[in-house]
Chains A and B, each alone.
Chain A
Amino acid sequence: MSEPLLSIRNLRASVDDKEVLKGIDLSVAAGEVAAIMGPNGSGKSTLSNVLAGRDGYEVTDGEVRYDGQDLLAMEPEERAATGVFMAFQYPVEIPGVVNATFTRTALNAQRKARGESAIDAIDFLKRARATLGRLEMDEDFLRRDVNAGFSGGEKKRNEIFQMAMLEPRLAILDETDSGLDIDALRIVATGVNAMRNPERTLVVITHYQRLLEYVVPDSVHVLADGRIARSGDRELALELERAGYAAFQPA
């Protein structure tokens, strides 16, 4: 594979003065699907939030290069505009703002930041309809308020819908499989797989192996106690499924 699109070196980060990430090293190439697995409390969500630039996470050491840029120096919206997308574990409700408006505003904010022209409502709608079809989502979805009153599965599908519309280069999926029944999981996985291409990198963060049965990763990394404890291929995920995380838990 080519040069890594994302390269994390010795990343340390604290939340409320407690060190959660204790020196992460990880490289992911363009086109690669990397799964990050780990037990609860190992730092999975902290890693995704640090990569997306959320407040409240203090980076104390290390660096993150993304497409040749210093990712940590950028504001969250700048990261978004350069192609970093995070599918939230707990997507947020925004009452009174319909999905179509939200997604189009986001898309056009990113396009504007990149010096591209805005997408008009009609072109947007065409693309949105096609995307919704792939995700087996009703068109009514566009007229509903962002995540307000959505079921858990609908919220996760909405994240995948936004990802498909925003076409990121680096998508971080934070426990996208949590709370999904098997049908919803299949639909979400289909949506994710449709996004795979040689230019796009996916970082799939999950506790369980089952999403990886549908979204087959190129590499699997075990995050334990704030470090990458082991890296391997798909076999590693299956091994974790059989043996659990016991071997990686602090004594």
Chain B
Amino acid sequence: MTPLRETVETVERASGEYRYGFVTDIETERAPTGLNEEIVRFISAKKEEPEWLLEWRLKAFRMWLGLENREPRWANVHFPKIDFQEACYYAAPKQEGDGPASLDEVDPELLRTYEKLGIPLREQEVLAGVAGAGNVAVDAVFDSVSVATTFKDKLAEMGVIFCPISEAVRDHPELVRKYLGSVVPQGDNFYAALNSAVFSDGSFVYVPKGVQCPMELSTYFRINAQGTGQFERTLIIADEGSRVSYLEGCTAPQRDENQLHAAVVELVALKDAEIKYSTVQNWYPGDAEGKGGIYNFVTKRGACRGADSKISWTQVETGSAITWKYPSVLLQGDRSVGEFYSVAISNLRQQADTGTKMIHLGRDTRSTIISKGISAGRGQQTYRGLVRVQPKAGGARNFTQCDSLLIGDTCGGHTVPYIDVRHPGAEVAHEATTSRISDAQLFYCRQRGLDPEEAVSMIVNGFCRDVLQQLPMEFAVEAQKLLGISLEGAVG
């Protein structure tokens, strides 16, 4: 059985309970609880970082202190104030000596975890299963560290660098130093500053000039340890004329406490380059009473630096208790293109405030925003998006479509578009709809033989089609199943 098929079947077997809620019993090395300069130094030392990066972190930490009590409060989400001194900022599976040189040195318990999650870490299994499907290189991040990156050698033949960011700091410091923080500066916002101070691991990708990355690159994030946050940092650089498609997936154990996930993702597309970034986010959403679940407070931004470059974000957000996330594109290069395709589900007591920012700086830049928000149970969902056309962005065009689907009468869907146009020649179009799954639709499907959950799943998948078809094939299938599962019990 191919790992991808296995993933799909794992999801298929899900019975409405969160399937990824198990805990891996593994010895963990942790930083002392709390956050201060010593902790930042501890993390940097653990990772044997160069002085410049320690200084970079400390600068971020001081900025974060300056932002104290200045968490963003404008989002339509509600939760008790977080005590940042109560969390642990570094947790890693314990290992002897240096990191694993190959998968055979990875703790088998960890490999079993990823097997259980349906993530293909064993390269040979992926290779055996490629028939027809594209293959996927995976970087697996477990709590604070990367535990395995597959297909590194094959990619290296083409000059593609795909590795944990901690390794990139060591092996490619010139690239990291040049681009780290160049899209999301350390002091960008409260959570980005926190991440810049304490980020532990994440993925690094560099695609050289003119290279079309031959496979999907994928990072799989897993929070395991209790009382920890996850602060990964991802940096992707597509050099001139190159192209890369990158996917991330996320799960976490089921716990009564809330855990913080504050990631930063930076994308840089140079002239004629294209980056496609897809996310299937299924962090633990909490229970029906709103107990537990991940706080997903993430800063994702891409810069279309060069002319004719393109960055496309696709996200399927089904998990997390609270989502605060606005994958954005800075359209700097002339004729550059930004896209944002999003499906977000808020069921149970989930709250999501998500959308995008498209900042048009160059001439004849184009952006497209397609957002599909689904609310069920007692979920609250807000689309928040900014389209800004700067004075020099003549010929800029944007099209935005925001659709909300409500299931039941105890949820909410909200749309908050901001449009700021400073050039008279810009064309900006915004369309929005709100609809309900009607009893008539449900009955029609049931009369044809679908049970209520199959019916909802089909109607919701139809509603999301424009976004799902942006995902790479195998993940589109998985995302479809996930949508159905996330909404189980949404109709009674």
Q: Which A residues are closer than 8 A to B by beta carbons?
A: 52-56, 75-77, 79-81, 85-86, 88, 90-97, 101-103, 105-107, 109-110, 113, 145-146, 162, 166
B464 interfacial contact with A, CB 8 Å: yes
Contacts of B443 in A (CB 8 A): 52, 54-55, 76, 92
A94 touches B451 (CB 8 A): no
Contacts of A106 in B (CB 8 A): 445, 448-450
Q: Which B residues are closer than 8 A to A by beta carbons?
A: 438-441, 443-451, 454, 458-459, 461-466
A94 touches B462 (CB 8 A): yes
| Other 4 A-B pairs with CB < 8 A, given A80-B446, A109-B451, A145-B462 | A52-B443, A77-B446, A96-B466, A102-B448
A97 touches B448 (CB 8 A): no
Contacts of A103 in B (CB 8 A): 448
B449 touches A110 (CB 8 A): yes
Contacts of B441 in A (CB 8 A): 92-94
A52 touches B448 (CB 8 A): no
Report Cα–Cα, A91/B466, bound state, in Å.
Answer: 24
Which residue of B has the minimal Cβ distance to A90? Answer: B440
The 3 closest A-B pairs by CB, nearest first: A96-B462, A97-B462, A106-B448
Asked, given contacts A80-B448, A94-B441, whether A109 binds B461 with beta carbons under 8 Å apart, the answer is no
Asked, given contacts A95-B463, A96-B463, A96-B464, whether A80 binds B458 with beta carbons under 8 Å apart, the answer is no
A92 touches B444 (CB 8 A): yes
Asked, given contacts A55-B439, A92-B438, A92-B441, whether A97 binds B446 with beta carbons under 8 Å apart, the answer is no
Partner of A113, one of B439, B447, B449, B461: B449
17 contacts between A and B (CB under 8 A): A53-B446, A54-B447, A56-B439, A80-B448, A90-B440, A91-B444, A92-B438, A92-B441, A92-B443, A92-B444, A93-B441, A94-B444, A94-B459, A96-B461, A106-B445, A110-B449, A162-B448
Contacts of A94 in B (CB 8 A): 441, 444-445, 458-459, 462
Contacts of A90 in B (CB 8 A): 440
Report Cα–Cα, A250/B440, bound state, in Å.
Answer: 31
A115: shortest Cβ distance to chain B, in Å? 14
Which residue of A has the minimal Cβ distance to B438? Answer: A92
Report Cα–Cα, A82/B458, bound state, in Å.
Answer: 22
B454 touches A109 (CB 8 A): yes
Report Cα–Cα, A94/B464, bound state, in Å.
Answer: 12
Which residue of A has the minimal Cβ distance to B459? Answer: A94
Which residue of A has the minimal Cβ distance to B372? Answer: A96
B450 touches A109 (CB 8 A): yes
B459 touches A80 (CB 8 A): no
Which residue of A has the minimal Cβ distance to B452? Answer: A77
Which residue of B has the minimal Cβ distance to A76? Answer: B446
A105 touches B439 (CB 8 A): no
Which residue of A has the minimal Cβ distance to B443? Answer: A54
Asked, given contacts A54-B443, A55-B439, A92-B440, whether A166 binds B448 with beta carbons under 8 Å apart, the answer is yes
Contacts of A109 in B (CB 8 A): 448-451, 454
Which residue of A has the minimal Cβ distance to B457? Answer: A105
Which residue of B has the minimal Cβ distance to A165? Answer: B448
Contacts of B464 in A (CB 8 A): 96
Contacts of A88 in B (CB 8 A): 444, 447
A105 touches B450 (CB 8 A): yes
Contacts of A166 in B (CB 8 A): 448-449
A97 touches B449 (CB 8 A): no
A48: shortest Cβ distance to chain B, in Å? 10
A53: shortest Cβ distance to chain B, in Å? 8
Partner of B458, one of A81, A91, A93, A97: A97
Report Cα–Cα, A53/B443, bound state, in Å.
Answer: 9
A72: shortest Cβ distance to chain B, in Å? 15
Report Cα–Cα, A94/B438, bound state, in Å.
Answer: 10
Contacts of B446 in A (CB 8 A): 53, 75-77, 80
Report Cα–Cα, A85/B447, bound state, in Å.
Answer: 7
Contacts of A146 in B (CB 8 A): 462
Contacts of B466 in A (CB 8 A): 96
Contacts of A56 in B (CB 8 A): 439
A105 touches B463 (CB 8 A): no
Report Cα–Cα, A80/B448, bound state, in Å.
Answer: 6
Contacts of B448 in A (CB 8 A): 80, 102-103, 106, 109-110, 162, 166
Report Cα–Cα, A88/B464, bound state, in Å.
Answer: 26
Contacts of B458 in A (CB 8 A): 94, 97, 101-102, 105
B462 touches A81 (CB 8 A): no
Report Cα–Cα, A77/B448, bound state, in Å.
Answer: 7
Report Cα–Cα, A121/B262, bound state, in Å.
Answer: 43
Report Cα–Cα, A112/B443, bound state, in Å.
Answer: 19
Contacts of B451 in A (CB 8 A): 75, 77, 109
A101: shortest Cβ distance to chain B, in Å? 8
Report Cα–Cα, A107/B445, bound state, in Å.
Answer: 11
- Most A CB contacts (10 A, CB to CB) among B445, B449, B458, B461 go to B449
Which residue of A has the minimal Cβ distance to B435? Answer: A95
Report Cα–Cα, A86/B444, bound state, in Å.
Answer: 9
Report Cα–Cα, A55/B452, bound state, in Å.
Answer: 13
Which residue of A has the minimal Cβ distance to B444? Answer: A92
A80 touches B454 (CB 8 A): no
Which residue of A has the minimal Cβ distance to B446? Answer: A76
Report Cα–Cα, A77/B454, bound state, in Å.
Answer: 11
A2: shortest Cβ distance to chain B, in Å? 26
Report Cα–Cα, A54/B444, bound state, in Å.
Answer: 9
Report Cα–Cα, A52/B118, bound state, in Å.
Answer: 41
Which residue of A has the minimal Cβ distance to B451? Answer: A77
A131: shortest Cβ distance to chain B, in Å? 15
B361: shortest Cβ distance to chain A, in Å? 34
Report Cα–Cα, A156/B433, bound state, in Å.
Answer: 27
A77 touches B463 (CB 8 A): no
Report Cα–Cα, A106/B454, bound state, in Å.
Answer: 10
B151: shortest Cβ distance to chain A, in Å? 32
Which residue of A has the minimal Cβ distance to B454? Answer: A109
Asked, given contacts A92-B440, A105-B454, A109-B454, whether A76 binds B462 with beta carbons under 8 Å apart, the answer is no
Report Cα–Cα, A145/B459, bound state, in Å.
Answer: 11
B476: shortest Cβ distance to chain A, in Å? 13
Contacts of A79 in B (CB 8 A): 447
Contacts of B438 in A (CB 8 A): 92
Report Cα–Cα, A90/B441, bound state, in Å.
Answer: 11
Report Cα–Cα, A162/B448, bound state, in Å.
Answer: 9
